[in-house]
């Protein structure tokens, strides 16, 4: 921990940087609430962030404990960051600097959702709360100060860019969006800016499909009509939250047969972009003649293009994040010091009460004067309160660590010295 971070903070997990879709699917936790409940027996606080291209576990604890916990959960191949490195990663994450689509805005909402889930499952500690709140604040501010989120700012809008790159243009095309959640909304909004012939929207809840279609002048489609409209579409962008594939090999084969008109020499090609996690589309669909299947992994090219376009903004964002990191460490250390001081004051109060009670007994039963008893009380208190620090100063001096010894004495006497100076000035 480079700047002496007092609280133990660690992040462990995987992301699109080193893992493909299959690896992320196998790493994903299907029951987030159960994981957070189990984590309570290990950590003071825990938070699980699961998005399309990352699974990360933030804990109030050290890296070794985080690793042991994930290994017990049957997970491996993950990266672990601790202390200041973990905080730096959290700030980069909230700023969109670590996202597949650099500067994307969705991560802010995803962090807040993860925090809410941690709270609901009684896994959120004050430290975890401070970390996410600070990260979200920095994420908003860095976007206000730079153009880091200019252009494609989500996986959804990147998927639309990919479709446009593949087809040359989306003008006059028919697009089918499968899924009406947050990602489906982003996809549909990005498509609304294109000169399309038709946008079809389908969702498990038809009312949501209607709501989204009305926003962009599209047509809502019932989920059981998905493949009827698939035969009409040039592009399908799928982004549901289904736990299993909903676009299957056999159904797509049937849809492709319906795409051949009597005078056509070959099937009209169909582009399918699957940005769901877990995947919406069976992998074998990509083997069908005339079908071109793309996944989140293929959006890396869009990410690289965006990063190249934003190099100057990224430099400015990095400088801002470095400054915020210093403040972040100070904030957490101040909170950590409060816990240490609470322990110190509890210890001192215990000694005070014990010696006060002894003095009270002497006042009632002995013949000593009150002045004598009070003098003895003050001497005992000083001796017991300074006993440990006296031992530490002597041990440092014997080892030649005179600067440490001086620092210990200064830590104890600095307040009184300041008071003496003020009294001198007043006189």
- For the cut 80, the answer to whether the pLDDT of residue 245 exceeds it is yes
pLDDT at 201 over 70: yes
* 23 annotated to a ligand binding site: no
pLDDT above 90: residue 43:
yes
> In the prediction, which pLDDT does 367 show?
75
Instruction: Give the Cα separation of 147 and 314 in Å (integer).
Output: 9
Mean pLDDT, all residues of the chain: 83
Q: Does residue 110 have a known ligand-binding role?
A: yes
More confident residue, 67 or 313: 67
81 DSSP β-pair partners: 11
Label residue 247 by pLDDT band (50, 70, 90): very high
182 is in an annotated binding site: yes
On whether 75 is known to bind a ligand per the annotation, the reply is no
Q: Is 104 assigned to a binding site?
A: yes
- CATH number of 155-300: 3.30.360.10, 3.40.800.20, 3.40.50.720, 3.40.50.300? 3.40.50.720
Q: What is the reported pLDDT for 306?
A: 64
pLDDT > 70? residue 279: yes
* Residue 253, annotated as binding a ligand: no
Q: Is 179 annotated as a binding residue?
A: yes
Angle between helices 106-120 and 84-94 (to 10 degrees): 120
pLDDT band at 10 (very low <50, low <70, confident <90, very high): very high
Higher pLDDT, 49 or 17: 49
The segment with the largest mean pLDDT, out of 14-18, 73-77, 375-379, is 73-77
Give the pLDDT of residue 263. 53
Q: 425 pLDDT band (50/70/90 cuts)?
A: very low
The pTM score is: 0.64
92-108 tens-digit pLDDT: 999 888 887 777 788 89
The catalytic residue positions are: 52
Q: Is 99 annotated as a binding residue?
A: yes
pLDDT at 376: 82
Residues 6 or more apart whose CB falls under 8 angstroms from that of 50 comprise 28, 29, 32, 114
For the chain, give every residue range classified as CATH 3.40.50.720: 155-300
Q: Is the pLDDT of residue 47 over 80?
A: yes
Residue bearing the bigger pLDDT, 11 or 413: 11
Lowest mean pLDDT among 28-32, 57-61, 267-271: 267-271
The continuous run of DSSP H or E covering 167 comes out as: helix 155-167
Residue 206 has pLDDT above 60, yes or no: yes
CATH 3.30.460.30 maps onto the chain at 9-151+309-335
Q: What is the spatial distance between Cα 372 and Cα 377, in angstroms, rounded to a whole number?
A: 9
- 389 or 224: which leads in pLDDT: 224
Q: How far apart are CA 102 and CA 25, in angstroms?
A: 22
Residue 52 is labelled as binding a ligand: yes
Q: Between β-strands 54-60 and 9-15, what pairing exists: parallel, antiparallel or unpaired?
A: antiparallel
CATH 3.30.460.30 fits 9-151+309-335, yes or no: yes
The per-residue pLDDT for 3 is 47
pLDDT greater at residue 405 or residue 224: 224
Check whether 106 is labelled as a binding-site residue: yes
Do residues 148 and 97 lie in contact, with contact meaning Cβ atoms separated by under 8 Å? Answer: yes
Q: Which residue, among 7, 39, 28, has the nearest Cα to 121 in the 3D structure?
A: 39
Q: What is the pLDDT of residue 121?
A: 95
Q: Considering only 11-20, 139-148, 393-402, which range has the smallest mean pLDDT?
A: 393-402
Q: Between these two residues, 402 and 119, which has the higher pLDDT value?
A: 119
Residues in CB range of 322: below 8 A, 6 or more apart:
none
* Pair type for strands 219-222 and 235-238: unpaired
Any known ligand binding at 131?
Answer: no
**In the chain, pLDDT over 90 holds for what percent of residues?**
35
pLDDT tens figures, 285-299: 999 988 999 988 787
Mapped onto helix, strand or coil, the DSSP state of residue 228 is helix
């Amino acid at each position: 921990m480079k700047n002496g971070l007092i609280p133990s903070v660690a992040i462990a997990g995987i992301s699109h940087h080193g893992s493909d879709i299959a690896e992320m699917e196998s790493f994903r936790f299907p029951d987030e609430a159960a994981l957070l409940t189990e984590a309570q027996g290990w950590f003071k606080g825990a938070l699980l962030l699961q998005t399309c291209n990352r699974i990360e576990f933030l804990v109030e604890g050290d890296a070794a404990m985080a690793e042991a916990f994930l290994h017990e959960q049957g997970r491996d191949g993950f990266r672990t960051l601790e202390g200041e490195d973990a905080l730096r990663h959290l700030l980069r994450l909230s700023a969109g600097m670590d996202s597949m689509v650099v500067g994307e805005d969705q991560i802010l909402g995803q962090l807040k959702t993860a925090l809410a889930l941690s709270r609901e499952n009684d896994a959120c500690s004050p430290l975890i709360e401070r970390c996410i709140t600070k990260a979200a604040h920095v994420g908003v501010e860095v976007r206000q100060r730079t153009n880091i989120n200019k252009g494609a700012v989500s996986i959804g809008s990147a998927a639309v860019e990919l479709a446009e790159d593949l087809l040359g243009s989306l003008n006059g095309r028919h697009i089918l969006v499968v899924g009406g959640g947050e990602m489906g909304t982003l996809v549909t909004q990005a498509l609304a800016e294109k000169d399309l012939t038709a946008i079809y929207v389908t969702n498990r809840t038809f009312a949501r499909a209607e709501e989204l279609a009305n926003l962009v002048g599209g047509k809502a489609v019932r989920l059981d009509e998905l493949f009827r409209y698939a035969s009409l579409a040039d592009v399908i962008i799928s982004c549901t939250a289904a736990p299993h594939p909903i676009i299957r090999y056999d159904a797509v084969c049937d849809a492709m047969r319906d795409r051949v008109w009597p005078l056509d020499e070959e099937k009209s090609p169909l582009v399918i972009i699957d940005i769901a996690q877990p995947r919406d589309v069976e992998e074998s669909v990509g083997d069908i003649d005339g079908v071109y299947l793309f996944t989140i992994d293929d959006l890396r090219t869009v990410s690289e293009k965006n990063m190249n376009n934003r190099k100057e903004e990224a430099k400015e964002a990095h400088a801002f994040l470095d400054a915020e990191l210093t403040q972040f460490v100070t904030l957490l250390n101040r909170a950590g010091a409060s816990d240490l001081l609470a322990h110190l004051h509890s210890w001192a109060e215990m000694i005070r009460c014990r010696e006060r009670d002894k003095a009270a007994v002497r006042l009632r039963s002995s013949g000593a004067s009150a002045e004598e008893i009070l003098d003895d009380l003050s001497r005992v208190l000083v001796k017991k309160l300074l006993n440990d620090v006296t031992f530490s100063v002597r041990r440092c001096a014997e080892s030649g660590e005179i600067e440490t010894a001086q620092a210990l004495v200064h830590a104890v006497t600095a307040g009184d010295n300041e008071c003496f100076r003020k009294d001198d000035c007043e006189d």
